[in-house]
Amino acid sequence: MEKINLNNVSLSYETKGQGSDVLLLHGFPSSMYMWNEIKKELIENGYKVTIVEQRGYPLSRLKNFDVLSFNIEELSKDIEELIIKLNLDQNLTIVGHDWGSIVAWAVTSRENVNINKVVSICGGTEFPLSAVYSNLTYKEKPHYISSFQNVRESANIIDNNLESFFRSAYRRNNQIGENVDLSLENVFINYISESCVLNENEIIDLIQHFDESSIDQPIAWYANIDLNSELSSAWRKEVNIPVHFIFGEVDAAVKLNDKMRERLMSSGTNVKITEILGAGHWLPITHRESVLKEIYV
């Protein structure tokens, strides 16, 4: 692992291999190491792979921060400067999962760096405005994204329940149904022994990764979704490079409905959308070959 200073933040990253560039961007609540198996296979198949711990996560935590430090413009600048300083200019493919896909899309739309292709996993292009989530309640409890608008309070709940948080977050296909309870407590705290997409050692490693810091800075990404919509209006456009959106059929947190499909298809001139049957939110872990296939195409 190495450190690079850019855009007023010190990011941890790793680059290995030779060949065309692939940049892998994790989402919430993950780390740069979620890509280890995909990274290994890409390197073995002739790619140069860069993984990065994004702004606010334990290995790239800001010493002093306010919520505005995590808006989409700052997140995009981090990745743009990383691409430029590391010379990731050999047919670059950006692969983003969850929030990583939102950052990948913004970097693509801003057109400050050359990108050959984008693979977007369980994310899309932008979050809806916070008002959309504020209208959603579950047994009188708010949607977890509404809870995340209060960064400190949400972080305190999670920091005091880290093991339950990660075991709940990485449940296997636990979000099946039309009226799933998406409150913070149900999605991230109330673990009930469902099977996990990570093995026991991986769960322990993830808990330890976050144990000495708070989840507050990753949550702060969510507290900027209204500002992000405003900022994105400056560069929101139809993109021309190949973009492949991949979703899991039973991922209720990021559901591919008809309205979303129509919006994504209109976001570019070369767009492909795939929904993987029976799959949940953690496709880079549970459906690794499907992700790799789209990088190789």
For range 87-96, the mean pLDDT: 97
Helices 162-169 and 151-159, axial angle in degrees (round to 10): 100
pLDDT in tens, 177-236: 557 889 999 889 987 666 889 999 999 999 999 998 999 999 999 999 999 999 999 999
Label residue 290 by pLDDT band (50, 70, 90).
Answer: very high
Question: In the chain, how many domains are there?
Answer: 1
Instruction: Enter the tokens of residue 283.
Output: 């496709």
Label residue 28 by pLDDT band (50, 70, 90).
Answer: very high
Label residue 270 by pLDDT band (50, 70, 90).
Answer: very high
Residue 91: CATH number of its domain: 3.40.50.1820
- DSSP symbols for 151-168: HHHHHHHHHTTHHHHHHH
Residues 60-77 as b/e (b if ≥16 CB within 10 A, e otherwise) read bbeeebebebbbbbbbbb
The domain containing residue 210 runs over which residues?
A: 2-296
Q: Tell me the whole-structure pTM to 2 decimals.
A: 0.95
Neighbours of 234 (CB within 10 A): 10
Share of the chain above pLDDT 90, in %: 85
For range 260-274, the mean pLDDT: 95
